[in-house]
Structure 1
Amino acid sequence: MPSASPWRYVAATRPAFLGVTLAACLVGLGAAHGSGVALDPFTAVLSVLLALFAHAGGNVINDFHDRDADPLNRKRLFPYTGGSRFIQNGVLNARQIAALGYGLLCVSMIGGLWLTWASGPGLLVIGAAGLLLAWAYSAPPLYLVGRGLGELCIVAAWLLVVAGTDYVQRGAFSALPFTAGLSYALLVANLLYINQFPDHQGDAAAGKRTLVVRLGPQTAKWGYLLIALVAYGWLVGMSGTDVLPQKSGAAAITLVLSFSAARELLEHAGTPAELGPAIRRTIAAALLHGLILAGALAFA
């Protein structure tokens, strides 16, 4: 195969989905700034870039380890589900995809070591846990997404993004980014969850035991609404009791998008080809929630 254009490597990371990590970083920066911490522009930008590299690496590794399962998925909703198909379509070969994914994680790890030296040893724990989750989500032997643990993995990973970005600025652990980031991380997990509906037949054929495969679409469809209710209930409860700034409750306005997507999922769980609008609303709900939450925390 001839050498691939650099833009193919960029596209292989699925950059359109990296916005959820950017928003998580902004929540972390907002938590630190709202606590009276003077933000350092260089380490803030570097933190965001390294988090994006880690997310991009995780996306690519997922494509590599799903290279045998993705061809079985004939009902994917492009571009949201079913992977990039770069290996199957001959855009990049499996070796190139693996080198890209693990290379991005290595860059993130090396940069994270420098940030650890600059900010404090606690970041080493956050970074190591984040890299472990990025790998274990898709790769054997853990293969968390194939064991029905993908949603928990996503919640933990995006909480670590929020907490890590805050830690770099604060130089210490704080409960605030974990408390503030939970509702956002749950909404990101709902994006993974709804994406499993178009993919569930292919996943089942490949032995990928996601929650939707385990429960079946008609039972699993209620899980989306449950996750959304927990996310918004947590946010309203924490802001209503002043654990979070009261302005943070403004992010609950995105429940309009989440509940609208939930209604469509309840109606179309058995016909996943109709779920495109619900997936787009799920993406919009997560991104808007993160941006409003970040602003509320920063200027509380």
Structure 2
Amino acid sequence: MNFQAWLKEFRVLFLIFVALPVVLGSAVAYAYEPQSFSLPYCVLAVIAMMSLHAGTVILNDYFDFRSGTDVLNKERTPYSGGSGLLPEGTLSPAGVLIAGLLSFGLSALLGTFIVLTRSPIVLVIGVIGAAIGFFYTAPPFKLAYRGFGETARLFATPLMVLGAFVVQVPPASMADMSSYVGPLTVVLVSSLPVAFLNTAALYIFQFPDYEADSAVGKTNLVVRLGRKNAVYVFILLSALAYIVLLAGIVSGLLPFFSAIAFVALPLSAFACKGLLVYFDLPKKLVPYMKSASDAYILATIALTLAFFI
């Protein structure tokens, strides 16, 4: 077995992307119900989410290889174009497909344990999340190929934060959710800056893939708008993140220390500036893709710490 190849296939950076919203949701739960907080369940939820996302990333590689976009892609970067392992012949399509399905299976197994021992509400959230992940590139829906990938990403982040909260503060039924209106509002507001920055980071990763995606009919938003016009969507997503963050702090829904998350603003501004200039030069975009990714990670960590302080 080629261990290094499989490590690359699992795209560890992107696993960190989904671990952070789970920790944020757990932090919000800790702030409101510290007596019910469980570190083991937090760890279990993180592993389940990482397994689900691993399956999503791996199946994305498989279906992008089958569609031909990763085969045609000559502008692969550390953040875009897939792992490149299937076009290179390093891994077999069958092996990658099996690995993706096994990752989904592990996530389902862990999720079932959480549902049975914490709350049935987790099942509803988990099924929706799994469906988004699986059908992101898998037929028949192929969300990323039909212009719904960005919307799916934007929706998935608040869902992860909510799921983590419910794991820590488990309601017995949907009716019990009404008693948590205040905390659930905070869950939503805290998740939105993270969702906008997460979506922005994954959105900028699409720019280097423009030619290959266009050639196979993968009509994501960058392809639909064209790279030059698509830049302004990235700027809008980045701006909305900090606008919502500020509104949450001013309204008192977010802790005052959430303002620490503004430390990520220069990183987002740097990414916006770079994308405006180099939107059609994939290799030159790499520092700006990293900056967008770092902005998301840094802001989410800051927000999480604010709830623990």
Instruction: Kindly indicate whether the alpha-carbon contact (under 8 Å) linking 1:159 and 1:178 is maintained by their aligned counterparts in 2.
Output: yes
Deviations 1:25-74 (A, max 9, x none): 22111111111333212111111111111111110010010012201111
Structure 2 stretches lacking a partner, 5+ long:
172-176, 178-183
Tell me which amino acid in the other structure corresponds to 1:147: R
Mapped pair 1:247 → 2:257: yes
2:133 is matched with 134
Tell me which amino acid in the other structure corresponds to 2:117: A
Instruction: Normalising by structure 2, report the TM-score.
Output: 0.92
2:55 is matched with 57
1:156 is matched with 155
> How far apart in 2 are the matches of 1:51 and 1:8?
22
1:226 is matched with 236
Instruction: Normalising by structure 1, report the TM-score.
Output: 0.95
1:22 is matched with 19
2:42 is matched with 44
* Greater shift in the superposed pair: 46-55 or 175-184: 175-184
Mapped pair 1:197 → 2:207: yes
For the aligned residue pairs, the C-alpha RMSD in angstroms reads: 1.3
1:10 is matched with 7
Deviations 1:110-140 (A, max 9, x none): 1101101111111001100110000111111
1:181 is matched with 191
Instruction: Kindly indicate whether the alpha-carbon contact (under 8 Å) linking 1:145 and 1:209 is maintained by their aligned counterparts in 2.
Output: yes
> How far apart in 2 are the matches of 1:175 and 1:55?
26
> How far apart in 1 are the matches of 2:282 and 2:85?
23
> How far apart in 2 are the matches of 1:187 and 1:127?
22
> How far apart in 2 are the matches of 1:10 and 1:105?
17
1:287 offset after TM fit, Å?
0.4
> How far apart in 2 are the matches of 1:273 and 1:91?
23
1:74 is matched with 74
Mapped pair 1:287 → 2:297: yes
State how 1:242-281 maps to structure 2 within 5 Å.
242-281=252-291
SS at match of 1:183: helix
Structure 1 stretches lacking a partner, 5+ long:
none
* Greater shift in the superposed pair: 136-145 or 199-208: 136-145
> How far apart in 2 are the matches of 1:193 and 1:31?
27
- Percent identical residues: 31
Instruction: Kindly indicate whether the alpha-carbon contact (under 8 Å) linking 2:29 and 2:168 is maintained by their aligned counterparts in 1.
Output: yes
SS at match of 1:66: helix
> How far apart in 2 are the matches of 1:271 and 1:89?
23
1:104 offset after TM fit, Å?
0.4
> How far apart in 2 are the matches of 1:114 and 1:213?
41
1:207 is matched with 217
1:8 offset after TM fit, Å?
3.5
Tell me which amino acid in the other structure corresponds to 1:74: K
* Greater shift in the superposed pair: 18-27 or 47-56: 18-27
Mapped pair 1:90 → 2:100: no
Instruction: Kindly indicate whether the alpha-carbon contact (under 8 Å) linking 1:176 and 1:244 is maintained by their aligned counterparts in 2.
Output: yes
1:252 offset after TM fit, Å?
2.3
Bigger proportion of residues as helix? 2
> How far apart in 1 are the matches of 2:242 and 2:267?
12
1:6 offset after TM fit, Å?
4.6
> How far apart in 2 are the matches of 1:220 and 1:129?
28
Tell me which amino acid in the other structure corresponds to 2:234: Y
Tell me which amino acid in the other structure corresponds to 2:7: V
Instruction: Kindly indicate whether the alpha-carbon contact (under 8 Å) linking 2:23 and 2:42 is maintained by their aligned counterparts in 1.
Output: no
1:7 offset after TM fit, Å?
4.8
> How far apart in 2 are the matches of 1:189 and 1:105?
22
> How far apart in 2 are the matches of 1:236 and 1:109?
37
Tell me which amino acid in the other structure corresponds to 2:97: A
| Equivalent residues, number | 295
1:11 offset after TM fit, Å?
2.7
> How far apart in 2 are the matches of 1:202 and 1:214?
13
1:292 offset after TM fit, Å?
0.2
